[in-house]
Amino acid sequence: MAGAAKSSKAEETKRLSHGLRGALTAELAGPESHFAAAEQLLLKFHGTYQGYDRDSATELKQQGLEKQWEFMVRAKIPGGRLTPEQYLALDALAERHGGGNLRITTRQGVQFHGIIKRDLKATIAAINRALLTTFAACGDVVRNVTATPAPIADAVHRRLQADAKMLSEELAPKTNAYHEIWLDGEAVAGEVDEPLYGPSYLPRKFKIGLATPEDNSIDVLTNDLGIIALFEGERLVGYNLALGGGLGMTHNKPKTYPRLATPIAFIEPDGLLAGVKAVIQLQRDHGDRADRKHARLKYLVQENGVDWTRATLEGIFCRTLADPKPMPPFRVIDHTGWHEQGDGRWYFGLAIANGRVKDEGSLRLRTALRTVIQRFRPTPILTPGQGIILGDVDAADRAEIEAVLSQHGVSLPHALKPIARWALACPALPSCGLALNEAERIRVPLIAEIEAVLVRHGLGDEEISVRITGCPNGCARPYAGDIGIVGRTPREYALYLGGDFAGTRLNRLVFERIDLAEIAATLEPLFEAFARDRWPGEGFGDFCHRRSNAELIALVDAARPPAARVA
Ligand code: SF4
């Protein structure tokens, strides 16, 4: 728990920022190509990260030239739900400022990469004109609230979407800084009142997700606060609040670790907002403000225990909390392809490699989606698997939509093996300043290699989740999948195994350093053993989970020449 330790520099920056203003207006107007360090932190609250093109950085330095500074801009989209007009506005922005592509994130938002400073204000203003915002898409506040994406026309899915929207609006910071800086709003005199966050906001980012046990496609337990809605038929019984999820860690720093959220309490339907605010207050007042690497809610819960967490929450809430209710086993539903949505209309889910919507060679995905959305006006919903759902489609339009996609070279879901449909990758190089290795740029060839191995062992139709990240920060949820592949050095990856497909168990580190070229070959003996020795209905992650690291390494070593063995 945070004691008398000195607050970090970031805390001072936030506290003195006058409601997240700092010197942003002056720096934005200045001639420099980038912002000073303190303003970089504040920029995140406004939905943008400053970075530089890492591919060209060394060469530019050798020539005595400045780095190529650029910005990532992220739009916050609760539950991933857009209108056709909003999607088309984002598509137009991609053309104007985003280098011709937009990226669907693992938290149902949209990111534009490669924005230069002089286009920053215009980009953010254009997102707002589409009735979306970038405010609080990043920073030490509640970020985009994720929710099960399927547009099924029943009380369950309507309620999840409505709750995601309500929480997103209610938990947004109240400062007027965003409107003043980016939208030329009128300056507000006097002190800024942030009743929920206070002057220093939260110690770190705070993620909230909403799901049901019947469809955990958002990996709800990876959130700081996972809200699990419980229904009897279409009647909402209430919510289990699970606290302390979060995946970021640092290699070789055992004080940092991934963690899945623990169910702590049950809340009645009308108590959701008050319960969520109490959890945020818990983190606001007790989170570690001295060490940002130790500042997430997960460390509070893990190190102080469930009893302390619950008692402190009850103190804030001023009442006794009910125990979490029993939940059925978690499942993850495949939303790709066509599904009847319950009101006579249909939705179509499309997997998108890396969430990258662009035109490249014969694959003209961006044009295809734009054409479909312009012509048929479906409801676009971004998924936590970096894909898109096109909802509210008339049955008569289905064949034509498929035809448009195929004409533009887009692979339809049934043409993809499950391994390709489910794989996630973070952006990593060249745009992420923290990346230790590639992720997005190796996803397609690596997944193709792994798929070939699976097919060789009769496992081509097996549902296995693979998550690839360029560093251990966990943006593509690498520790919550069957297989996690995490950048370790510029050449090597750490390989994590033994998670579960339903997102209820973390995987574990099995191979500390593997060259990219060796990953598929390392997995092959494990797939071979899985195909041979699996229990009925057992998934690959479960198979690895019931074997020790030594057993898994022995399986791989047995297939290698002696000089290449690990053990
Ligand atoms: Fe960057 Fe690491 Fe996040 Fe990937 S996981 S986007 S490399 S911080």
pLDDT tens-digit series, residues 286-344 = 999 999 999 999 999 999 999 999 999 999 998 899 999 999 999 999 999 999 999 99
Ligand 1 center to residue 233 CA distance, Å? Answer: 40
Average pLDDT over residues 405-415: 95
Q: Determine whether 143 is an active site residue.
A: yes
- Looking from the CA of residue 474, the nearest atom of ligand 1 is 5
Dist. CA 217–CA 382, nearest whole Å? 12
Ligand 1 center to residue 210 CA distance, Å? Answer: 23
Res. 74 pLDDT band, cuts 50 70 90: very high
How many Cβ atoms sit within 10 Å of the Cβ of residue 206?
26
Res. 186 pLDDT band, cuts 50 70 90: confident
Res. 3 pLDDT band, cuts 50 70 90: very low
Q: Determine whether 6 is an active site residue.
A: no
Q: In this structure, what is the dihedral angle of CA atoms 188, 191, 192, 194, given to the nearest 10 degrees?
A: -160
Q: Determine whether 253 is an active site residue.
A: no
Q: Which of 21, 207, 356, 421 is catalytic?
A: 207
Average pLDDT over residues 221-246: 98
Of 50, 473, 485, best ligand 1 pocket probe by most atoms within 8 Å of the beta carbon:
473
Average pLDDT over residues 422-431: 95
Res. 184 pLDDT band, cuts 50 70 90: confident
Q: Is the pLDDT of residue 566 over 80?
A: no
Single-letter code of the amino acid located at 29: A
| Residue with token string 């009645």 | 268
Instruction: For residue 198, report the phi and psi dihedrals to the nearest 5 degrees.
Output: 75, 180
C-alpha of 437 from chain center: 19
What pLDDT was estimated at residue 6? 86
- 364-386 pLDDT, tens digit each: 999 999 999 999 999 999 999 99
Q: Determine whether 544 is an active site residue.
A: no
Q: Determine whether 61 is an active site residue.
A: no
Res. 1 pLDDT band, cuts 50 70 90: very low
3-state helix, strand, coil in the chain (%, to 5): 40, 20, 40
What pLDDT was estimated at residue 367? 98
Q: Determine whether 74 is an active site residue.
A: yes
Q: Which residue ranges have their beta carbon within 6 Å of ligand 1?
A: 426-428, 432, 434-435, 439, 469-471, 473-475
This prediction's pTM: 0.96
Q: Residues 335-345, buried b or exposed e (16+ Cβ, 10 A)?
A: bbebbebeeeb
Of 469, 477, 479, best ligand 1 pocket probe by most atoms within 8 Å of the beta carbon:
469
Q: Which of 296, 366, 475, 477 is catalytic?
A: 475
- Angle between helix 398-407 and 365-376 (nearest 10): 150
Q: Which residues contact 468 (CB under 8 A, 6 or more apart)?
A: 423, 424, 425, 426, 439, 442, 443, 446, 476, 478, 485, 486
- List, in sequence order, the alpha helices (H) in 350-462: 365-376, 398-407, 418-422, 440-456
- Looking from the CA of residue 435, the nearest atom of ligand 1 is 7
- 139-183 pLDDT, tens digit each: 999 999 999 999 999 999 999 999 999 999 999 999 999 999 999
Ligand 1 center to residue 302 CA distance, Å? Answer: 24
Q: Determine whether 432 is an active site residue.
A: yes
Ligand 1 center to residue 241 CA distance, Å? Answer: 27
Q: What is the mean pLDDT of the chain?
A: 95
